[in-house]
Chain A
Amino acid sequence: MQVNNSFKLMAVLIVAILFFACRKIDLGNIQNLNDGQVMVIGHGGSGFPEFSNQLPANSWTSIERALEGLNANAVDIDVQLSADHQLILYHDGRLESQTDCYGCIPETESETIISCCYRNNFSNNITDHHAVILLEDLLEHYAESPFTFLLDLKPFGQCTEDIIVDLDTFATVLTDLVVRLKMEDRIIFNSFFVDLLAKLKALNPGFRVFKDGVNFDENFSEATTIGFNGITMSNLDIDEDQVSQAHDAGLWVILYSVKERFGTADALRKNPDGIITDNIELLQNFLD
């Protein structure tokens, strides 16, 4: 009798779980500028590190896993300029926050930087060694591939309070690399720094340039005034009507700060053209 009751309890639990399963979003009716498709963009590769994702953001393996493993359309990677004018993939202002090195990217030679290993999780210390990489190596590797790269441009260093990177140099080095590899149609330049984006657009009007910002009105105004191609914003800072307003002005909208189930569903309901996510599998589970 007690055996029966226990199994009944389990059966009730299973039914309860299935009952509370969400209803599917109508993906056939997404109104955007990307032909109703939503670009799946891995944040820093396959998501920023956490308990269930040990791979460092911007590392080769994380990017490879997102593109070649999970079939993401694109990755959002952070780009800084080293002292010897090499483009480095790194998120933070200081190297010591994530690696075994010390200093800031704009004040350090690239040879030193690419010898730095990420150290901010146990796994990386014990079993794996992921180094900081050059944008040039990555793009050369994927030059013939169909993948898109959203370059989050960071012309700053926290070693000093002021911007210490020469924006002209930054824009020129980026332009030379992308044009040399003929990847203009598969690179999205994204930044908070309007001046840098404007220089890129001036160097090559065919570049896809997106303005990042926290205030929709300011972001929208700057993007439309200068003639950028789109805006990127946190999912928390923009609503469905504002996305629609941007689309009406011909601006693509890419949303970030998306990771959990609720946030992913919320972002999809706003009809974005792309979503930068820390959980590629979950977003694909929605879209599939």
Chain B
Amino acid sequence: MARTLDLGLGSRKERKGGTKDTFFLWVSSILAFGIILFSIPAKSQVIFSPSAVTSLSYTGFNFSLGVTAEKDKFSIYVGPKLTLSDSYLVTDGPFGFSSSFFFFPNGRDRKFSSFINFDYQVNFQKAFCPTGTCSRKTNFTHEYNLGYGFVYQVKRVGLMNAINIGRYSENFYNQLTQQRFKNSGYNTLIKIGVIVNVQKQDAGE
């Protein structure tokens, strides 16, 4: 096979600003969602709700606590996340961010509402350092998924479920070869979440 492995230390220039790029991507996606959300002329005001989301995807089992902003037929969710599948001490990570854009074709003010969902998540993890004396580079994994789901409203609590498909893209730093390794592929995302609607009238009231 015509593959080569260059183990010469530092022989390939490391890709600069990996973590910064990831953060920029995440912030950009939030801004894009926000601009869409807030530029929509609507009678209703923006409602902010604390939310908790668990998800199962390529990166494993994730848990996220964040805020959902809702306006008319649209809402966005943003929040930090913790990947429990790869974590021994949860205080050590791996950490990340989760964001979602929701469009409710039939509106949101009903007991049972369905939505279309674009989801972007990113994961950060310190690259493994077997010697304990490495410069600490970061591994990261992006997940982009599109899908659908529904929210079932019980009083002020919305129970959310979504199924998405898309791609993952991972970028690892190998301390031994001092090179970055990239890999991408198909992704499936299943989400279950709770949205506490603290400012609006109960559905069906």
A residues with a Cβ closer than 8 A to B are 2-3, 6-7, 9-10, 13-14, 17-18, 21-22, 24, 37, 40, 51-55, 60-61, 64-65, 68-71, 73, 122-123, 126-128, 133, 137, 141-142, 144-146, 261, 264-265, 279, 281-282, 284-288
Contact = CB atoms under 8 A, between A and B. Distances in A.
A123 to B, nearest CB: 3
A70 B92 CA distance: 18
B198 A3 contact: yes
Nearest to A25: B88
Which of B61, B126, B170, B176 has the most CB atoms of chain A within a 10 A radius of its CB?
B176
A117 to B, nearest CB: 15
B183 A18 contact: no
Contacts of B128: 40, 70-71, 284, 287-288
Nearest to B199: A3
Contact of A286 (B7, B88, B90, B91): B88
Contacts of B125: 281, 285
B125 to A, nearest CB: 7
Contact of A2 (B91, B181, B198): B198
Interface stretch (B30-38, B52-60, B70-78): B52-60
Nearest to A8: B50
Contacts, number: 122
Contact of A288 (B129, B172, B177): B129
Q: On chain B, which size bracket covers the interface?
A: 35 or more
Contacts of A13: 52, 65
A48 to B, nearest CB: 14
Contacts of B49: 6
B65 A21 contact: no
Given A68-B174, A123-B186, A285 B88 contact: yes
Nearest 10 A-B pairs (CB), nearest first?
A123-B186, A69-B181, A69-B172, A281-B86, A284-B128, A21-B90, A52-B60, A71-B128, A285-B88, A127-B186
19 contacts: A2-B156, A10-B50, A18-B90, A21-B89, A40-B130, A52-B60, A52-B85, A54-B186, A69-B174, A71-B130, A71-B175, A128-B185, A128-B186, A141-B4, A279-B85, A281-B86, A282-B85, A287-B128, A287-B130
A68 B171 CA distance: 11
B86 to A, nearest CB: 4
Contacts of A141: 1, 3-5
Name the residue among B52, B58, B88 with the largest chain A CB count within 10 angstroms.
B88
Contacts of A2: 156, 198
A2 B130 CA distance: 49
Contact of B126 (A70, A73, A286, A288): A288
Nearest to B3: A141
B50 A6 contact: yes
